[in-house]
């Protein structure tokens, strides 16, 4: 079976592409090792600003799709980014980069945690990291908000759907597995209708 050809520069909004599957592997390895508390805070910077493999709009679209699919959203994102240029080989290379070194590190840390879990300093440090993780997620969300102005739904509808998601999950404590597909279907139908109405 032939390998899918890399996307041409003119097809990519930023004009850049990974050099090879190994470039994907090492880039996603570096990304994964920066992701203490989650890599979303640094994924956009690497993919859109440093590597320039994706535009911010493309990144937002892939991330949105990755969040509604089963599995960790960043792993889904790595699969889609790898597949974009090098097909199945690229997808596996990017996913391996996301998983290999963190897996080894987590196994080592789990062994250490088993030895020192009862120590008060360790328990306090872990509680403090919760605030850091929350700050990283909020910072990433604010950076992703800018491309939403160009959404087919329009900014008011985007804010309304985002607010509804926040209320349902954070305040009403509804299960994420119901809220995301439910609001996602509503958003897709509204976007499809608006795009259909605006087409000539």
- DSSP readout, 142-200? HHHTGGGGG-TT-HHHHHHHHHHHHIIIIIS---HHHHHHHHHHHHHHHHHHHHHHH--
- 10-24, 32-46, 175-189: lowest mean pLDDT where? 10-24
Identify the helix (H) or strand (E) that includes residue 73: helix 73-116
Which residue did the predictor score with more confidence, 28 or 36? 28
Residue 14 has a pLDDT of 52
Cβ-based burial of 143 (10 A; exposed 0-12, middle 13-18, buried ≥19): middle
For residue 150, the model assigns a pLDDT of 77
Whether residue 8 is predicted with pLDDT greater than 60 in this model: the reply is no
Q: Which two tokens stand for residue 68?
A: 């509604």
Average pLDDT over residues 171-188: 90
In whole angstroms, what is the distance from residue 195 CA to residue 200 CA? 10
pTM check: above 0.85: no
Domain ranges of the chain: 1-115+135-150, 151-200
The answer to whether residue 87 scores a pLDDT higher than 90 is yes
pLDDT score of 199:
61
Q: What is the mean pLDDT of the chain?
A: 82
pLDDT of residue 15: 60
């Amino acid at each position: 079976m032939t390998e899918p050809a890399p996307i041409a520069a003119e097809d990519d909004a930023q004009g850049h592409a990974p050099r090879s599957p190994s470039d994907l592997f090492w880039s996603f390895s570096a990304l994964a090792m920066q992701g203490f508390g989650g890599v979303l805070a640094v994924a956009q910077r690497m993919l859109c600003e440093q590597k320039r493999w994706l535009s911010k709009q493309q990144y937002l679209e892939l991330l949105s799709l990755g969040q509604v699919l089963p599995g960790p959203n960043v792993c889904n994102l790595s699969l889609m980014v790898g597949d974009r240029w090098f097909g199945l080989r690229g997808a596996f290379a990017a996913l391996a980069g996301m998983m290999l070194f963190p897996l080894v590190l987590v196994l080592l840390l789990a062994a250490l945690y088993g030895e020192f879990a009862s120590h008060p300093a360790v328990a306090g440090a872990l509680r403090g990291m919760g605030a850091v993780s929350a700050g990283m997620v909020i910072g990433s969300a604010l950076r992703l908000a800018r491309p939403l102005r160009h959404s087919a739904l329009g900014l008011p509808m985007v804010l309304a759907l985002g607010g509804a998601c926040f209320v349902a999950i954070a305040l009403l404590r509804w299960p994420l597995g119901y809220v995301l597909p439910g609001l996602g279907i509503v958003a897709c139908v509204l976007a499809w209708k608006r795009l259909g109405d605006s087409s000539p």
